[in-house]
Amino acid sequence: MLKEAVYHRPKNNYAYAYDKETIHIRLHTKKDDVKKISLIHGDPYDWNKGEWQTQQAEMKKTGSDDLFDYWFASIQPLYRRLRYSFLLEDETEQTVYTEKGFYEEVPIEGIDYHFCFPFLNPIDAFEAPDWVKETIWYQIFPERFANGDPSLDPEGTVAWGSKDPTPTNFFGGDFQGVIDHLDYLEELGVNGIYFTPIFKAHSNHKYDTIDYMEIDPQFGDKKTFRNLISKCHDRGIRVMLDAVFNHSGYYFEPFQDVIEKGTESKYAQWFHLKENEVVTEPLPNYDAFGFVPSMPKLNTEDPEVKAYLLKVARYWIEEFDIDGWRLDVANEVDHAFWREFRHTVKDAKPDAYILGEIWHDSMPWLQGDQFDAVMNYPFTNAVVDFFAKKNITLPHFKNQLTHVQHMYPQSVNEVSFNLLDSHDTPRVLTYAKGDKKAAKLMYLFQLSYSGTPCIYYGDEIGMTGGEDPGCRKCMVWEKQDQDFELFAFIKKMIKLRKTAPAFGNDGEFSFLDYGDELLAYEKTSETQSMIFLINPTTKAYDLRFEENIKQVVDVDEGSNMKDHNIHLAPSGFIILERR
556 flagged as catalytic: no
357 flagged as catalytic: yes
Burial of 551 (0-12, 13-18, 19+ CB in 10 A): middle
Q: How far apart are CA 10 and CA 275, in angstroms?
A: 46
Q: How far apart are CA 306 and CA 304, in angstroms?
A: 5
CA 112 to each of CA 5, 44, 85, 117: distance values in angstroms, whole numbers, following the listed order: 23, 9, 11, 12
Task: Name the E strands within 12-89.
Answer: 15-17, 23-30, 36-42, 47-48, 51-52, 55-58, 60-64, 68-75, 82-89
Q: How far apart are CA 485 and CA 474, in angstroms?
A: 20
Report CA 405 to chain centroid distance, whole Å.
12
Given 323, 328, 372, 459, the catalytic residue: 328
Do residues 330 and 371 lie in contact, with contact meaning Cβ atoms separated by under 8 Å?
yes
Q: How far apart are CA 86 and CA 103, in angstroms?
A: 10
**Most distant CA pair in the chain, distance:** 86
* CA neighbor of 175 nearest in space, from 222, 106, 126, 237: 222
**What dihedral do alpha carbons 391, 393, 394, 400 form, nearest 10°?**
-70
Q: How far apart are CA 410 and CA 413, in angstroms?
A: 5
Given 357, 414, 421, 459, the catalytic residue: 357
DSSP per position, 83-127:
EEEEEEE-SS-EEEEETTEEESS---S-GGGSEEE----GGGS--
Q: 3-class DSSP state for residue 159?
A: coil
Question: What are residue 268's phi and psi, to 5 degrees?
Answer: -60, -35
Task: Please identify every residue annotated as catalytic.
Answer: 328, 357
